[in-house]
Chains A and B, each alone.
Chain A
Amino acid sequence: MEVEPLSNGNSATAAAPIAAAAAIAAAAAASPSSKLTQLTESLKLEHQFLRVPFEHYKKTIRANHRAAEKEISAAVAGVSEAADLSPDDAVQRLNSLVSRLQGLKRKLEEGSRMEHLQAQRCRARLDHLESADMDHLSEWNSTRLKRILVDYMLRMSYYDTAIKLVESSNIPDLVDIDVFNEAKKVIDALQNKEVAPALAWCADNKFRLKKSKSKFEFQLRLQEFIELVRAENNLRAITYARKYLAPWGATHMKELQRVMATLAFKSSTECATYKVLFEPKQWDYLVDQFKQEFCRLYGMTFEPLLNIYLQAGLSALKTPFCYEDDCTKEDPLSQESFRKLAQPLPYSKQHHSKLVCYITKELMDTENPPLVLPNGYVYSTKALEEMAKKNNGKITCPRTGLVCNYAEVVKAYIS
């Protein structure tokens, strides 16, 4: 998208206090300062861009710290225990502690390296936002579109395309492929009716899930229970429930009771309330739940960025004229697919007239006022002057074919 900052001269003449028509000119002309505001506003939409790598970074830091704490405590405890052992055993135990500590050192070094890379990525993104200035706007915008497309590809699981797009545009630091890969493992497993990776993910993020009062883990456990019932492993199911479902009873008793009741039925039951619990689409529901929790944890929007921007754009562009047959092909809403998407969205609203010349496609404002032919059709001064010059003062209306003299046109005053 080529953005050409209009010269100061333009807006200066627009500010001249001549006619009420100054209103359209002011609205149409984008002075450099308003373009800057526009740019700043658009940068404010990039919360996800900065938040996701930071959350990832934070998670790595916390995980490394927990590992360090655990090992150190174990070492200290090991020393205490060694006091009760025989001398040789004690030496052996202490030696093993030393090697464990050395192992921890190496692990932490590796972890530190990982943290450094992630911190670099966070910084690279900050730098990228800073690089958005008026001189490089069109390239920056084109990169933004690529980022939005990569986000879409990753969410829809089109990984090959995402990787290809990232490589060809050289934006590895600006996208979150590794974060989505983490989600992919869990999603793939859930789609294969396995809950293990999902449960591991819940364990990894236990603290934050608890803080947001998430019941995702509970739902995973419920599903495992139902699978045991489906396989008619009722005794195992009951043991499982005692261990994993009971703790959730305090907060989710009703749901727990409903699922426990499946014990009384078989998976082929026709009873509606319980039949639905056995359906395979419960797994799809789990996948959706996971995606929601995941996005919330990382500060991502639940909908793809592409959809969000598309909706906003379509609504901003939508006018009743877009649906007419002679809608200009330059308007995205002249395309069937865009029309379809825009159908349930609200129309845009204008407070001031904005008139576009049919011939030149330029705005008709005080500098290029609209002129009216005897048949009521309107064209810009520039277009008609040019036409008259080339044709001995004669004007031909391109839409109706009417021929008249340039002298016959009347100026229209639009405010």
Chain B
Amino acid sequence: MELNSIKDTFDRVTKKQKLSSSKSQEVIEQLGQEIEQAVSKLQFVPGAMSQPDHKLILTELKTKLNEIAPLSQLESTQKELNIALTKYPKLLEKSFNPDISKAYRNVDFDSHTVNQIIANHFYQEGLFDLGDCFVNEAKAIEATGMRIPFLEMYQILHAMKSRNLEPALKWAATNSDKLKHNGSDLELKLHRLQFVEVLQNRGRDEALDYARTYLSPFASDHMAEIQKLMACLLWAGRLDTSPYFEFLSPTHWEKLAKELNRQFCNIMGQSHQSPLSVTIAAGVQGLPTLLKLMNVMMGKKQEWQSMKQLPVPVDLDREFQFHSVFVCPVSRDQSSEENPPMLLSCGHVLCKQSITKLSKNNSTRPFKCPYCPLEVEVSKCRQLYF
């Protein structure tokens, strides 16, 4: 798709349009002038104008206008413009996919569900006014379920932007167990950051108090970390010249905000990225393949509407791979509960049905692995859990 040639074709359209436009103005000007001239001739000798003269002037005017032939003048520029106006959309149809709704399935796409998804998206992105306006217009009051939790999250993050860690600390304390369960040391990191803030802003004694109250619970698991922080006390007021100047870096705040975002969403049972964004991004990557497929399946509309699985793979980026999918190299079947992946003693993995077929239903005799010279026994094959 050559954007430059498309741009050139469009420029041609505007050029022709300008020519046509100026031609129109020119012609109108001419017409107006001729008529005005005739008027002034007619009015030259007011009153005592005899019939033949005035008729003559008017006939002259008519002839003049026929000579000018305004409409045919316009015709030629208009024709060129029309050619350009037809060429451009044809080029567009050639360079782009003219109908991306070809692959659309006529299934019931419940608008209430879609509206709910959109409302959640707005709230998750922090666009609360927009979300409220939407919920109002779409009359989707039940879609506001996510508003309060996300509002809380944005309030915490907003406070963090102005270096206020209070709301974050409070939240982390309330959800301490869940954070530990997720394997996150967010609470410690928050206290660490707060400790450095206190040290910088309120001095050594307050920092020491803070450490005693809030850092000591973490001492057993994170001794090394605590020791570093305690050492910072020695450089109170000149932390930037200490070996620990790195603690002052603003990147800590950004990283911590991101992690809090992630953990907050996780504890809420949401993905950290708006699921609408993720799905649309996946759709953008997958739609070209689906449209190509639809082209091939042109006459089989019924099959398209009713298929249970896409007949071709849709390649998405790594970030869209949420689940392990095992495809047996022999049968090309996707593994399932009835047909799980099995590890052969040689290290290769096949699906259960393939193993059954290769061992020719004889579970006692060893069979040869299709990928290496080793012979393996059916009984020694172990089911894998990805």
Contacts and interface: CB of A to CB of B under 8 A. Distances in A.
Interface in B287-334: 287-288, 290, 307-327, 329, 332, 334
B327 A351 contact: yes
B224 interface: no
Nearest to B55: A83
B39 interface: yes
A203 interface: no
B272 interface: yes
Contact of B322 (A46, A317, A335, A351): A317
Contacts of B109: 307, 310-311, 341
Interface in B123-142: 127, 129-130, 133-134, 136-138
Contacts of B275: 332, 335, 338
Contact of A161 (B51, B137, B309, B321): B137
Given A51-B89, A98-B39, A354-B324, 6 more contacts: A3-B317, A43-B96, A65-B24, A72-B27, A87-B51, A356-B323
Nearest to A27: B315
Contacts of B134: 153, 158, 161
A244 interface: no
B323 A168 contact: no
A313 B282 contact: yes
A321 B7 contact: no
A38 B332 contact: no
B201 interface: no
Interface stretch (B13-21, B150-158, B238-246): B13-21
A302 B127 CA distance: 28
Query: Which 7 interchain pairs have the tightest Cβ spacing?
Result: A313-B283, A332-B275, A316-B286, A309-B283, A47-B96, A331-B322, A313-B282
A264 to B, nearest CB: 37
B74 A79 contact: no
B103 to A, nearest CB: 7
Nearest to A109: B25
A349 interface: yes
A28 B43 CA distance: 88
A87 B371 contact: no
A332 B70 contact: no
Nearest to B107: A344
A101 B39 contact: no
A126 interface: yes
B105 A311 contact: yes
A313 B343 contact: no
A51 B85 CA distance: 12
B36 interface: yes
B170 interface: no
A163 to B, nearest CB: 9
A90 interface: yes
B92 interface: yes
A180 interface: no
A346 interface: yes
B95 A45 contact: no
A310 B114 contact: yes
A349 B323 contact: no
Interface stretch (A144-152, A229-237, A269-277, A279-287): A144-152
B321 A144 contact: no
B310 A349 contact: yes
Majority-rule SS of A interface residues: helix
A378 B97 contact: no
Interface residues of A, number: 131
Nearest to B314: A316
Interface of B: 1, 3, 6-7, 10, 13-14, 17, 20-21, 24-25, 27-29, 31-32, 35-36, 38-39, 42-43, 49, 51, 54-55, 58-59, 61-62, 65, 70-71, 74, 78, 81, 85, 88-89, 92-93, 95-101, 103-105, 107-111, 113-114, 116-118, 120, 127, 129-130, 133-134, 136-138, 265-266, 269-273, 275-288, 290, 307-327, 329, 332, 334, 336, 343, 347-349, 371, 382-386
Contacts of B85: 58, 61
Interface in A132-162: 141-142, 144-145, 148-149, 152-153, 156, 158-161
B285 A44 contact: no
B35 A75 contact: yes
Contact of A341 (B110, B118, B278, B385): B110
A20 B117 CA distance: 42
A83 B95 contact: no
B118 A152 contact: yes
A340 B280 contact: no
Contacts of B271: 329-332, 334
Contact of A83 (B59, B276, B277, B282): B59
B114 to A, nearest CB: 7
Q: Which of B118, B284, B286 has the most CB of A within 10 A?
A: B284
B127 A101 contact: no
Contacts, number: 376
Interface string A283-318: 000000000000000010111001111111111110
Nearest to B330: A415
Interface in A368-390: 370, 372, 376-378
B334 A349 contact: yes
A173 interface: no
Given A68-B24, A312-B283, A314-B279, A20 B42 contact: no
9 contacts: A72-B74, A76-B70, A91-B39, A144-B284, A145-B277, A312-B284, A329-B265, A347-B310, A370-B386
A241 interface: no
A179 interface: no
A153 to B, nearest CB: 8
A227 interface: no
A94 B35 contact: yes
A73 B28 CA distance: 11
A95 interface: yes
A123 B120 CA distance: 34
Given A83-B59, A415-B329, A315 B288 contact: no
A42 B28 CA distance: 47
Nearest to A374: B382
A99 to B, nearest CB: 9
B384 A378 contact: yes
A91 B284 contact: no
A299 B97 CA distance: 11
A329 B266 contact: yes
Contacts of A313: 278-284, 286
A83 B58 CA distance: 6
Nearest to B129: A164
A360 B127 CA distance: 31
A68 B74 contact: yes
A413 B324 contact: no
Contact of A45 (B89, B111, B288, B307): B288
A158 B38 CA distance: 57
A410 interface: yes
A23 B265 CA distance: 35
A161 B334 CA distance: 44
B371 A310 contact: no
A307 B114 contact: yes
A95 B327 contact: no
B100 A65 contact: no
A270 B57 CA distance: 72
B100 A308 contact: yes
